[in-house]
Amino acid sequence: MAQGKIVQCIGAVVDVEFPRDQLPKVYDALKLEGTALTLEVQQQLGDGVVRTIALGSSDGIKRGLVVSNTGNPITVPTGKATLGRIMDVLGNPIDERGPVDHAQSASIHRKAPAYDELSPSQDLLETGIKVIDLICPFAKGGKVGLFGGAGVGKTVNMMELINNIAKAHSGLSVFAGVGERTREGNDFYHEMAESGVVNLEKLEDSKVSMVYGQMNEPPGNRLRVALTGLTIAESFRDEGRDVLFFVDNIYRYTLAGTEVSALLGRMPSAVGYQPTLAEEMGRLQERITSTKVGSITSIQAVYVPAD
């Protein structure tokens, strides 16, 4: 396992120097020795130096600390072990219910399915909310955006959808909380537990997996937490299931990308957004698709800013 040392730290951006013949690849996960902090490689600067984003608090980091290269991208637990659990961007449990089984795990950076694997669907997804089913029915395996300003009920709508679909169709859901309020995440969990969607007595019988990267966390966490949730949803789809993937809020994903881009010193585009916005969003959305094995239906809350 190649080792390097920190040569510069500016907030969430950490530069690490490695021997030139052992340079980490872009998106490799690096571990800071003696801590639980993970760094993700974003750029290779030359002369053996890589620029990374800290997926956690960078408090206490100083030059000269030893960093190890894991040689792989961030991997998170997937499958039934994640049901009923709340995890962070790295797949660590944050619900104080013990460790999550890593018997089944996958990298958060994966390619989208090839064209010949895709399966168009013309089935409708019955949500149980009559006004939606009548006026604006959802297509199974499609994507739906819930657009609105602050405090108009996007999250409440999502909670109702998960509740209805889990009870009526016994379907599995994955909820990714991207840059939203911790209070809302807490309310969501307790409401799911009260309604039986999260089975606290027998977690593997739960119908939802939850991944949280809330607004108080560093930008690297908020940027990657949507990919963590999507990786779990993909694992259920590849088992032949029909999965619902909820993202609350996809705009905060864009905002986290803007912060990371600015920290990395990239030239901003219009309104300060990152120049790689279309590519980052496209890479995420291309993976949210249905194959001949199973389907992912995605419902994403979209906060509409005033800019």
Residues 232/211, Cβ–Cβ less than 8 Å:
yes
DSSP conformation class of 111: P
Residues 255/274, Cβ–Cβ less than 8 Å:
no
Q: Domain 75-303, CATH 3.40.50.300 — does that match?
A: yes
CA angle, 230 then 256 then 283, to 5°? 40
CA pair distance 82, 70, nearest whole angstrom: 23
CA pair distance 34, 89, nearest whole angstrom: 20
CATH number belonging to the domain at 3-69, selected among 3.40.50.300, 3.20.20.140, 2.40.10.170, 1.20.140.10: 2.40.10.170
Longest Cα separation, the chain: 62
What pLDDT shows up at residue 170?
67
CA pair distance 107, 124, nearest whole angstrom: 31
Specify the DSSP element, H or E, that contains 39.
strand 38-46
Strands 38-46 and 49-54: antiparallel
Which residues are catalytically annotated?
Answer: 154, 180-181
Domain with CATH 3.40.50.300 in the chain: 75-303
Q: Is the pTM of this model over 0.85?
A: yes
What pLDDT shows up at residue 81?
92
Residues with pLDDT less than 50, the chain: none
What pLDDT shows up at residue 8?
94
What pLDDT shows up at residue 18?
96
Residues 229/105, Cβ–Cβ less than 8 Å:
no
Query: By CB neighbour count within 10 A (0-12 exposed, 13-18 middle, 19+ buried), where does 167 fall?
Result: middle
Domain with CATH 2.40.10.170 in the chain: 3-69
Q: How many CA atoms lie within 13 A of 127 on its CB side?
A: 23
What confidence tens digit (pLDDT) does each residue in 119-131 have?
Answer: 877 788 888 888 9
CA pair distance 91, 205, nearest whole angstrom: 19
What confidence tens digit (pLDDT) does each residue in 230-287 have?
Answer: 999 999 999 998 899 999 889 999 999 999 999 998 999 888 899 999 999 999 999 9
